[in-house]
Amino acid sequence: MTSQVSSAAEKADEANAAALGGQRAPLSGTTGTTGGDGKEVRRLDRVIIRFAGDSGDGMQLTGDRFTSETASFGNDLSTLPNFPAEIRAPAGTLPGVSSFQLHFADHDILTPGDAPNVLVAMNPAALKANIADVPRGAEIIVNTDEFTKRPMAKVGYATSPLEDGSLEAYNVHPVPLTTLTLEALKEFGLPRKEAERSKNMFALGLLSWMYNRPTEGTETFLRAKFAKKPQIAEANVAAFRAGWNFGETTEDFAVSYEVAPASQAFPTGTYRNISGNLALSYGLIAAGQLADLPLYLGSYPITPASDILHELSRHKNFGVRTFQAEDEIAGIGAALGAAFGGSLAVTTTSGPGVALKSETIGLAVSLELPLLIVDIQRGGPSTGLPTKTEQADLLQAMYGRNGEAPVPVVAPRTPADCFDAAIDAARIALTYRTPVFLLSDGYLANGSEPWRIPETDTLPDLKTPFATGPNHTAADGTEVFWPYKRDPRTLARPWAVPGTAGLEHRIGGIEKQDGTGNISYDPANHDFMVRTRQAKIDGIEVPDLEVDDPADAATLVLGWGSTYGPITAAVRRLRASGASIAQAHLRHLNPFPKNLGEVVKRYDKVVVPEMNLGQLAMLLRAKYLVDAHSYNQVNGMPFKAEQLATALKEAIDA
């Protein structure tokens, strides 16, 4: 069971956590006590579990439940759901494997973990697809019922890996999950197929025993989920309990583990677990409330953004209007129409949808109306990898329009941060009357972490007054309304909504005369308007970039968006091993913080890890003439901390 003790490199996280948090729970794997069942209980500081099975095996639900139990227990955690684009790929095949990885600890952690300590493999395909990521010595729990000739042949196992010695280096627990589940549910008289479906709850029960997770939450959840089918609810609860009891009684599982709550890692407050898309949805609802404006979402379903449409649709009692349009273009069109009418307007999509919305984003730039464009990035180009993560829409967000059409870009760094980033994006849109990109990605969208629930009275005031009367005195002395007369500080034009008497005006995509907003083809006016629209975006107030540099390092690692977790974990490891490195992370990609140029020029080396081929690095090079080095990965998965640490070490030593 040595696998469950952290490796030296992984302990770097702890070293830093200890430095930050002071007092903390005893370290890994050494403290043995005896549990109520007479079995040994070992204390661990952190564990990484991966549930893997067929797309139809309910692995995402299993992972979600284990996450909820873990969150309510008070561990810090980070999750990585990983599933195919097909809803039900052919059963038992490698492309059909769906997995959920969860990293939980008694201290603060930053990533879902590089390599699982425990793999739960529901079938041969799940084992085959995941074994390469599992370090030797780790525990593997397999559903032996699925290791029969045909399922094994389907994924190319000529002999059973459970018997041919190929898993010798691992600590394998063969468990006939299906048989045990059917046995446990015998008295329910369910059809075999129906009863079999509860095997994921059996597995969850077993793992819940292994890690001493609280169980009430899952039982309550199952009864609520199947409220209309009480028999199914009770069958699932029974399978869940049977899994727990199996762990407690069978001799194969001699040890259970405890991971203490991460009480020192968290500031005081009330917490919940939250995924990026949920946090982003809440951020949008909060922004509407803080601005005292109705929220309007125009959207078209697309992975991995659809959850936001689903979530916002559930909150109509906040005055939230959600419109599922006929296509991406109509989604943003309706949002823009609502913005003209005085709503806080949003459209949600992923990269392919942004491509379709480009022309309307350009119109919004020209109309100078507030509008949020939420892009949950996924692998591209074209349809690409719909369920995998990537950061390759940065340049599309920056430049993907005809003409000079600058749009601010805001990027959240963690799942919980999506809440604050959404409010920040709304602030910019409302204050400056501009479309704003909010660039999240599939990793943030589906991943989750504990979130300190903010007091609502600490959230910023986003109230933005509409224009109510004339704003200009004409040459003949009459008071008139000029729709393009700007606020001298923000350069924002007035937001005059239909229904306001005396301010009737016409706006459009044709170039308009400065001030009056009338159609103008005058060359000098166009030059002035192009420069003014750019100046407005360049002048947006964003906080200076903070640099974490405790030891006057020569090398800076600079990231943006969802790479925050892996980069920070890698930096901790490097510092724990004695290396010196500075770290900074960008939230605002357009405009950049005012001090960014000074920051990047301060260091001998600047390394920019990105899940693309170097898009931020290109912007930095173009704008600041610095020799920014890219470190890139575009495999649909987040960076691993160990891999980043190695790459950064090479950069430091080069």
Nearest distance from C-beta of residue 245 to another protein, angstroms: 25
CB of 635 to another protein, least distance (A): 33
Beta bridge partners of 298: 323
**Partners of residue 141 on adjacent β-strands:** 120, 173
* Nearer to another protein (CB atom), residue 182 or residue 278: 278
| Nearest-approach distance from CB 314 to another protein, in angstroms | 9
Smallest gap, in angstroms, from Cβ of residue 71 to another protein? 7
Decide the pairing of beta strands 76-82 and 97-105. Answer: antiparallel
189 Cβ partners below 8 Å, 6+ apart?
A: none
Q: What is the smallest separation between the CB atom of 272 and another protein, expressed in angstroms? A: 5
CB closer to another protein, 88 vs 452: 452
What residues pair up with 315 in beta bridges, in sequence order? Answer: none
Using the rule CB under 8 A, which residue among 431, 518, 534, 595 binds another protein?
518
DSSP state of 505: -
- Adjacent-strand bridge partners of 548: 583
What are residue 299's DSSP bridge partners? 324
> What is the number of other CB atoms lying within 10 angstroms of the CB of residue 296?
26
Site for another protein in 235-264 (CB under 8 A): 263
Compute the least distance from the CB of residue 244 to another protein, in Å: 20
- Min dist CB 326 to another protein, Å, is 4
The 118-121 sheet, strands edge to edge: 76-82, 97-105, 46-54, 118-121, 139-143, 171-175
Which parts of 552-611 interact with another protein (CB under 8 A)?
Answer: none
Cα–Cα distance for residue pair 146/153, rounded to 1 Å: 11
Q: Which of 501/654 has CB closer to another protein?
A: 501
**Contacts (CB under 8 A) with another protein, residues 304-343:** 315-321, 323, 325-327, 329-331, 333-343
Which of 48-56, 106-114, 265-273, 520-528 is the region at the interface with another protein (rule: CB under 8 A)? Answer: 265-273
- Nearest-angstrom CA–CA distance, 313 and 323: 9
Instruction: Give the residue with the Cβ less far from another protein, 256 or 500.
Output: 500
Interface with another protein, residue 426, by CB under 8 A: no
**Residue 17 or 570 having the CB closest to another protein:** 17
Minimum CB separation of residue 621 from another protein in Å reads 34
- Nearer to another protein by C-beta: 457 or 653? 457
Residues 268-287 that bind another protein (CB under 8 A): 268-273, 282, 285-286
DSSP output for 197-217: TTHHHHHHHHHHHHTT---HH
Between 316 and 472, name the residue whose CB sits nearer to another protein.
316
Q: Give least dist CB 104 to another protein, A.
A: 13
Beta carbon nearer to another protein, 189 or 214: 214
Tokens of 517: 């907003």
**Which residues, 427 to 456, sit near another protein by CB under 8 A?**
453-456
Of the pair 187, 521, the CB lying nearest another protein is at 521
For the chain, the straight-line distance linking the first and the last C-alpha, in angstroms and rounded, comes to 38
Residue carrying the six token digits 């001799």: 251
The 211-230 site mask, x for binding another protein (CB under 8 A), equals: ------x-------------
Tokens found for residue 459: 């959230």
CB of 359 to another protein, least distance (A): 5
The smaller minimum CB distance to another protein, of residues 156 and 214, is found at 214
What are the tokens at 497? 């909504």
Q: Which residue has the tokens 């829409």?
A: 393
Sole binder of another protein in the list 16, 28, 275, 360 (CB under 8 A) = 360
Rounded-to-integer distance, Cα 29 and Cα 36, Å: 19
Measured from the CB atom, the residue of 160 and 324 that comes closer to another protein is 324
Among 113, 116, 205, 298, binds another protein (CB under 8 A): 298
Q: Which is nearer to another protein, 495 or 631 (CB)?
A: 495
Identify the H or E element spanning 547.
strand 547-548
Q: Which is nearer to another protein, 337 or 515 (CB)?
A: 337
Q: Within 365-384, which residues bind another protein (CB under 8 A)?
A: 367
Cβ(85)–Cβ(95) below 8 Å:
no
Rounded CA gap, 168 and 137, in Å? Answer: 9
Supply the minimum distance, in Å, between the C-beta of residue 190 and another protein.
Answer: 29
Torsion of CA 412, 413, 416, 419, to 10 degrees: -10
Nearer to another protein, 154 or 315 (CB): 315
Q: In this complex, which beta carbon is closest to another protein, that of residue 503 or of residue 634?
A: 503
Among 138, 222, 237, 345, binds another protein (CB under 8 A): 345
Q: Residue 455 in 3-state DSSP? A: coil
Place of tokens 């997995």: 99
Question: Which residues, 6+ apart, have CB-to-CB distance to 594 below 8 Å?
Answer: 542, 544
Of 13-21, 98-106, 128-136, 361-369, which segment contacts another protein by CB under 8 A? 361-369
* Element at 330 (helix H, strand E): helix 328-340
Q: How far is the CB of 315 from another protein (least distance, A)?
A: 6
Closest contact distance (angstroms) between CB of 418 and another protein is 13
User: Rounded to an integer, what distance in angstroms lies between the CA atom of residue 425 and that of residue 422?
Assistant: 5
**Binding positions for another protein, 391-420, rule CB under 8 A:** none
Q: What angle (nearest 5°) sits at the alpha carbon of residue 316, between those of residues 315 and 318?
A: 75
Q: Binders of another protein: how many residues, by CB under 8 A?
A: 72
Which positions from 456 through 515 interact with another protein, judged by CB under 8 A?
456, 498-510
| Rounded Cα–Cα distance for residues 390 and 441 (Å) | 7
Please, what's the b/e burial string for 212-228 (b: 16 or more CB within 10 A of its CB; e: otherwise)?
A: ebebeebeebbeeebee
CB of 234 to another protein, least distance (A): 22
> How many of the other CB atoms lie within 10 Å of CB of 206?
26
Task: Determine contact, residues 435/361, Cβ cutoff 8 Å.
Answer: yes
- Least Cβ distance, residue 137 to another protein (angstroms): 33
Of 72, 490, 595, 632, which lies in the binding site for another protein, with binding defined by CB under 8 A? 72
Cis peptide before 609 (omega within 30 of 0): no
Residue 101 forms beta bridges with which residues? Answer: 50, 80
Of 227, 235, 10, 197, the C-alpha closest to 105 is 10
Q: Give the interface segment with another protein, choosing from 99-107, 246-254, 266-274, 624-632 (CB under 8 A).
A: 266-274
* Residue with Cβ nearer another protein (172 or 339): 339
Contact range with another protein by CB under 8 A, out of 11-19, 50-58, 356-364, 591-599: 356-364
Binding-site member from 256, 266, 490, 534 for another protein (CB under 8 A): 266
Sign of the dihedral defined by the CA atoms of residues 10, 16, 17, 22, in that order: positive
Q: In angstroms, rounded to a whole number, what is the distance separating the alpha carbons of residues 63 and 298?
A: 31
